[in-house]
Amino acid sequence: MTVTGAHVVLLATGGTISSRSSHKGGAVASDTGAEVFKAMGSPTPHPVRVLDVFQKGSYLLTFEDMLRICATIKDVLKDPDVLGVVVTHGTDTMEETAFLADLTHDDMRPVVFTGSQRAADSEAPDGPDNLARAIAVAGSTEGRGKGVMVHFAGSVFPAAGIRKSQTLRLDAFANPDFGSLGRVSAQGEVAMLDGGSRPEPLPLPEPGGTCPRVDLVAAYPGADATLMRAALRAGATGIVLQGTGSGNANPSLCSEVAAAVASGVVVITSTRVDAGPVVPIYGAGGGGEDLRAAGAIGSGHLRPSQALILLNLLLSINTGPERIGEIFTHRGRPPKPSA
């Protein structure tokens, strides 16, 4: 699709917004970006150029796939005529890809992730409306300087802290710690809040490189260190420990954390709790204070999904443990409003 002059770029990656019922059963990402765009059936507030990255359900994506999306965003932003970028993406791992894009975004122009909860061939698909509003945000002056955003059902959120909070409801996402950035109406009227200062972007790894193995291990009643040991034997150089409460585990996991850190593995402590920071408070052999003493790094307000993405990126660019701790401290805090 050729577009001249100022325009928005739509990067299509698949997801429910492109899915239709399959003869094999279940919905499958099948529509091209042009078909997703055509389904809107109404004029857009800005001209749109459509590019296909791939067609996948986001539950199938790898870290390498997410890097490819981020590299494509950077590539299309080399064109000065591009006002902003919309990425259509499955909701299952949108919080991971959008956060990776935000970590590496070094441009004032908006990048907006969106998708749908209902398939393209459902009786009342929500994708066309979500896409139209996302295009309005991506092309707006109000969206500039806000980094990478997620739009769903009229709400616009920062990528940092975003999480899927509803499996089926149309207002699929929430951001309890980092808040909302604004709203966009069905008519394309964009109202944005101050997003605060943005951290310096991190480098995007060169394509084709070997990505480190980073695994997620959960603490739960009765958990032992079996799964963490398995991850380490499989070659993990980073572990995200999904703790309970403010970031707690138990003596068995804590001992394995200490051994892992001593061997050079980076361990991040996050939490399964929906909101609030990871804070080292408790002892008794496996609490958050013990994990800190064992060498684990707290994730701040970042939940396991995004802590894993940040750790994977930092290890991919050969960041040392001390610097990783500093970056998690900085990135794990909600932004302060600009003066």
The set of catalytic residues is: 16
Distance CA 17, CA 120 (A): 6
User: 180: which 2 tokens?
Assistant: 């909302």
Q: How far is the C-alpha of 203 from the C-alpha of 198, rounded, in Å? A: 15
The closest of 248, 98, 111 to 160, measured between CA atoms, is 98
Q: Where are the alpha helices (DSSP H) in the chain?
A: 33-38, 63-76, 94-103, 127-138, 226-233, 251-262, 288-293, 304-316, 321-331
Tell me if 258 sits within 8 A of 267, measured CB to CB: no
Give helix 63-76 / helix 94-103 axis angle, nearest 10°. Answer: 50
Within 10 Å of residue 338's Cβ, how many Cβ atoms? 10
- Looking at the chain, how many residues does it have? 339
CA distance 335 to 200: 13
In DSSP notation, 216-236 reads: EEE--TT--SHHHHHHHHTT-
C-beta of residue 242 within 8 angstroms of C-beta of residue 217: yes
3-state SS, residue 3: coil
